[in-house]
Amino acid sequence: MTDAAVHAVNPDQQARVRLSGREICKSFGPAQVLFDVSIDLHAGEVHALLGENGAGKSTLVKILSGYHQPTSGALSLDQADVTFEDSEVAENHGVILIHQELNLAEQLTVEENIFLGREIKRGWFLDKAVMRAEAKKLLDQLQCDVDPRTRIKDLAVSDRQMVEIAKALSKNADILILDEPTAVLTGREVDILFDQIRRLREQGVAILYISHKLDEIKAIADRVTVLRDGRLITTEPVTDVEKDDMARLMVGRDIKQMFPDRAPVEAHDVAMSVRNVSVDGQVRDASFDLRRGEVLGFAGIVGAGRTALMEAIIGLRDRSSGEIERNGEPVSIHSLQDAKKCGIAYLTKDRKGSGLLLNMDMRPNLTLLALEKFGTVILNRKAEEAALANAIEAFDIRAADPKAKVGDFSGGNQQKLLLAKVMETDPEVVIIDEPTRGIDIGTKSQIYHFIGDLTKRGKSVILLSSEMPEMLGLSDRIAVMAAGRITGILEGNDRNEHEIMRHATGISGKQGVSVYE
Amino acid sequence: MSSLERSEASTSSGFNIDFKALGPFLALVGLFVLGTGINDAFLSGGNLSNIFTRAAFIGIIAVGATFVITAGGIDLSVGSMAAFISGAMIVVMNTLVATLGAGIETVLIGVVLSVLLGIAAGAVNGLVSTKGKIEAFIVTLGTMGIYRSLVTYMADGGTLSLDFDVRGVYRPVYYGDILGIPVPVLVFFAVAVAGYVLLNMTPFGRKCFAIGSNEQVARYSAIHVDRVKTLTYVIQGLCVSVATIIYVPRLGSASSSTGVLWELEAIAAVIIGGTMLKGGYGRIWGTVIGAIMLTTIGNILNLTDAISNYLNGAVQGLIIIVAVFLQRGDWRRKKSK
Ligand SMILES: Nc1ncnc2c1ncn2[C@@H]1O[C@H](COP(=O)(O)OP(=O)(O)OP(=O)(O)O)[C@@H](O)[C@H]1O
Ligand SMILES: [Mg+2]
């Protein structure tokens, strides 16, 4: 157990190796995903783990925390060999992993989740009052004002992530591993999380931190380890590597151009107009034109109504008023099927919950949205296989085993498959919600170029994103929403962070300013 | 879906026998070996045809249940539905004897009625659960009671018997054979083939898989989720009606105890066959084998004195639990979570 009173950054402390993995190899069936990877976690240090999607980061940390067994190689804790038969053994040794995918029981409340399996009891009964107070304290520490009695299913994803973090904190970790905790967090929440990480570091906790956001790595990490294709590339102090170096080490090449070049579009050639669309309680009177071949960004703080507006346009949500025109003709869209017929496709931001069938392989996933293309009476399996081969090629989907369930794919490859699925309907208008959540920098650039190519082929794209560089780098124009209204559509030199923030927060509003940092 | 099975097989290291797909089949072979060992009469043509003919009822119903369960639903009302449809058929055919006489026409009208009732009863289950947004378990638990009490009411608490002459005309549907193969077995085979094609080779089948594995994803994939789900219940109703059409000439009567616990046997056949109860994965051939296994167990117990016949249910229950345990496949691996 670490003494909480240890003074910060004392050099001996820094060098104290807590948990280490030696020459770890891991195979899933015939596919080997880790090759002789060694890593040391030091007390009082934040160690960042970097790598492309599918590099094996999650697999490595699952081995370090007892969720997987290494195929070969060994773990040691405080210089003594150790085996974690399962995650419970690892937790008893103080090793806690916060998973990349949220692992909460949806039907249970926040407090029940935090104390799941470790319920506080008085006599034979649960001591609910104490657990509620404890949960409240933990959440307060994270400045997260959700009621401990709320059910998880009623929480936004970012709040769910904060609950995961609270749960991990409550376990008094000695060695804390966070697998992409910030993928779903807003800027303010990231700041709070970093404060907590710094506090733990000062208490001597060894922290392993995975993220695709290189700014974050620069801000929080002491050392970085880079994995590529399951192999250890390097471990260095963070001060010795610049962001460009990190990207190059991860990808194995220079990323020359992050964003595609944009060509000017004809202002009068309108692919879709949205007129006075309202959704009860979420969107008020939204109107805009989408020009052919443009990327129209939609910015706004969380809860501004962007997703609600898009879902209303494609018929997934009831409109209380409003019309939609395609190529100047009014169209009637009341379901996703209608939207599909009008050539409008929607790429969901929730790729696991509403995008992909995780228990199936790639082929049924790819063709699901465009099923009628593959036969109205009998499905043409050959055509499906051919479409899959095309998609793997066109979207550069890299799967160790193409017949594996897509749930076992890395995030980036899932995202590319989702994009391929949506494009299989050959839509004219594509609405893309958070296309790069949890995606590595190389793949991000690839996805940006896919989007650029779409517009070159005359497709029109609506982009929803909470990442400012993405918004600015991809969009020709940016519509900003606040409290359910479109407060401005920015063009030319107005397309900048300052103007976006001004419109996103109203004139006086300050809350959420750090959403874009 | 064969690709899924293949991936299972290729990822399991060592020898490449796909236990998950072959499991039910191997178990059936095992049962046959056991049966032969216990009594030579087991393999006689008469006994085998008896097994398959009996398996046909549950099997046909279970093919329908495979659709419902693959799409993430459940139908508890099939046994009552079968009783209700038999009762209605008998009442109507008996009434028609006065006007049409005891001929083919009377039987045909009975058959058409059965099909219509099956479709209607299935549609009720499907529409109430999808449009009313009520769990299928609850809805079909309700209709289970409703259909059952309707037949009790029709029979006035007793037994409805089919007119003796009609019975003579109708008889071949159960007792007849073509090229030595009993009619029920042929119908069972035809239903299974149709079910296989529909579930594995058509867009409809694919949509069933998608809905069962994640309804939200299906909805975001522009699938008419409610329509597809309702159709699975209609298919189930149709299968019940086909099974009933074969069943009526066998006993020639219907009462409140007709078809009791068939829903459990049908669901058991589906699950033994490898379809997942939580939806998203279904196998028609597995279901067929599951149905044959269940009747074979009963048959073997009949042929031996070692275990009392009254323990049939216990042995079936045991087999279901063991089958599902073996299929899960992780009994070979070490606990991984
Ligand atoms: N349970 C599993 N069965 C089969 N293959 C798996 C399994 N888990 C992971 N893989 C494969 O191992 C490789 C590494 O996956 P891993 O999840 O560790 O990547 P990652 O670096 O965490 O990627 P990301 O940044 O997308 O989260 C991938 O090719 C993935 O498909
Ligand atoms: Mg990962």
Q: How far is B19 from chain A (nearest CA, A)?
A: 16
Ligand 1 center–CA A425 separation, angstroms = 28
Q: Which of B5, B200, B208, B220 to mutate to test the interface with A (most CBs of A within 10 A)?
A: B220
- Residue A300 tokens read as 């706004």
| Angle (nearest 5°) at CA A405 between A399 and A408 | 65
Closest ligand 1 atom number to CA of residue A410: 26
Chain B residues touching residue A87 (CB < 8 angstroms) = 337
Single out the residue of B298, B258, B283 nearest to residue B63, CA to CA.
Answer: B283
Single out the residue of A148, A144, A120, A119 nearest to residue A132, CA to CA.
Answer: A148
- Residue A175 tokens read as 């060695």
Q: Which of A26, A101, A403, A432 to mutate to test the interface with B (most CBs of B within 10 A)?
A: A403
Q: Is the dihedral of CA A239, A240, A242, A244 positive or negative?
A: negative
Looking at residue A31, its pLDDT comes to 83
User: Which residue in the block uniquely carries the two structure tokens 């970093």?
Assistant: A194
- Residue A145 tokens read as 């004002």
Q: Which of A59, A62, A226, A227 to mutate to test the pocket of ligand 1 (most atoms within 8 A of CB)?
A: A59
pLDDT tens digits, A19-39: 999 999 999 888 889 999 999
User: Which residue in the block uniquely carries the two structure tokens 């109507």?
Assistant: B92
State the average pLDDT for chain A.
Answer: 87
Single out the residue of B35, B30, B37 nearest to residue B48, CA to CA.
Answer: B35
The pTM of this model reads: 0.83
Contact across the interface for A368 and B13, Cβ inside 8 Å? no
Measured between CB atoms, which of A30, A359, A369 is closest to B221?
Answer: A369
- In this structure, which ligand is nearest to the CA of A59? 1
In 10 A of CB B321, how many CB atoms?
11
Q: How far is A89 from chain B (nearest CA, A)?
A: 11
Contact across the interface for A403 and B3, Cβ inside 8 Å? yes
Give the Cα separation of A346 and A463 in Å (integer): 10
Single out the residue of A304, A317, A314, A348 nearest to residue A480, CA to CA.
Answer: A304
A265: confidence class by pLDDT, cuts 50, 70, 90: confident
**Chain A to chain B Cβ contacts (< 8 Å):** 101
Contact across the interface for B203 and A372, Cβ inside 8 Å? yes
Contact across the interface for B4 and A340, Cβ inside 8 Å? no
Give the Cα separation of B2 and B258 in Å (integer): 37
State the average pLDDT for chain B.
Answer: 87
Chain A residues touching residue B280 (CB < 8 angstroms) = 357, 359-360
- In this structure, which ligand is nearest to the CA of A397? 1
Hey, is A460 helix, strand or coil? strand
Given a cut of 80, whether residue B231 has pLDDT beyond it is yes
Give the Cα separation of A280 and A365 in Å (integer): 33
Strand ranges for chain B from DSSP E:
159-161, 177-178, 181-182, 253-255
Looking at residue A451, its pLDDT comes to 93
- In this structure, which ligand is nearest to the CA of A436? 1
Contact across the interface for A29 and B10, Cβ inside 8 Å? yes
Contact across the interface for B201 and A379, Cβ inside 8 Å? yes
Contact across the interface for B214 and A404, Cβ inside 8 Å? no
Contact across the interface for B203 and A29, Cβ inside 8 Å? no
Give the Cα separation of A501 and A480 in Å (integer): 9
Give the Cα separation of A3 and B150 in Å (integer): 74
Chain A residues touching residue B13 (CB < 8 angstroms) = 29-30
Looking at residue A6, its pLDDT comes to 40
What DSSP string describes B108-140? HHHHHHHHHHHHHHHHHHHHHHHHTT--HHHHH
Give the Cα separation of B37 and B81 in Å (integer): 38
Task: Kindly compute the dihedral angle of the four CA atoms of residues A353, A359, A361, A367, in this order, to the nearest 10 degrees.
Answer: -50
pLDDT tens digits, A272-284: 999 999 999 889 9
Helix pair B19-38, B312-328: axis angle to 10 deg: 150
Strand pairing report for A31-42 and A460-464? unpaired
Give the Cα separation of B121 and B80 in Å (integer): 11
Measured between CB atoms, which of B206, B219, B280 is closest to A359?
Answer: B280
Ligand 2 center–CA A210 separation, angstroms = 8
Looking at residue B77, its pLDDT comes to 96
Q: What average pLDDT score do residues A428-449 get?
A: 90
Measured between CB atoms, which of A337, A359, A374 is closest to B213?
Answer: A359
Q: Which of B3, B5, B278 to mutate to test the interface with A (most CBs of A within 10 A)?
A: B3
Given a cut of 90, whether residue A292 has pLDDT beyond it is yes
Looking at residue B235, its pLDDT comes to 98
Chain A residues touching residue B12 (CB < 8 angstroms) = 29
Q: What is the CA radius of gyration of chain A?
A: 24
Given a cut of 50, whether residue B6 has pLDDT beyond it is no
Q: How far is B231 from chain A (nearest CA, A)?
A: 16
Q: Whose CA is nearest to atom 30 of ligand 1?
A: A409
3-state secondary structure A226-285: EEECCEEEEEEEHHHCCHHHHHHHHHCCCCCCCCCCCCCCCCCCEEEEEEEEEECCCEEE
In 10 A of CB A130, how many CB atoms?
13
pLDDT tens digits, A445-488: 989 999 999 999 999 999 998 888 899 999 999 999 988 899 99
- Residue, of A10 and A273, whose pLDDT is higher: A273
Looking at residue A298, its pLDDT comes to 94
- Residue A503 tokens read as 């419109």
Hey, is A437 helix, strand or coil? coil
Closest ligand 1 atom number to CA of residue A398: 29
- Residue A469 tokens read as 């560089």
- Residue A396 tokens read as 């550069």
Q: What is the CA radius of gyration of chain B?
A: 20
Contact predicate B126/B249, CB 8 Å? no
Contact predicate A517/A314, CB 8 Å? no
Contact across the interface for A354 and B220, Cβ inside 8 Å? yes
Minimum CA–CA partner of B208 in chain A: A368
- In this structure, which ligand is nearest to the CA of A53? 1
Closest ligand 1 atom number to CA of residue A62: 18
Give the Cα separation of A239 and A233 in Å (integer): 17
Residue A194 CB partners (closer than 8 Å, separation 6+): A216, A219, A220
Interior/surface letters A189-207, b for 16+ CB within 10 angstroms, e for the rest: bbebbbebbeebbebbbbb
Report the range of poorest mean pLDDT among A202-216, A429-443, B306-320: B306-320
Q: What average pLDDT score do residues B184-209 get?
A: 96
Looking at residue B199, its pLDDT comes to 96
Given a cut of 70, whether residue A2 has pLDDT beyond it is no
pLDDT tens digits, A78-110: 989 999 999 889 999 999 999 887 788 888 999
Chain B residues touching residue A340 (CB < 8 angstroms) = 222
Q: What average pLDDT score do residues A247-263 get?
A: 83
Contact across the interface for B6 and A403, Cβ inside 8 Å? yes
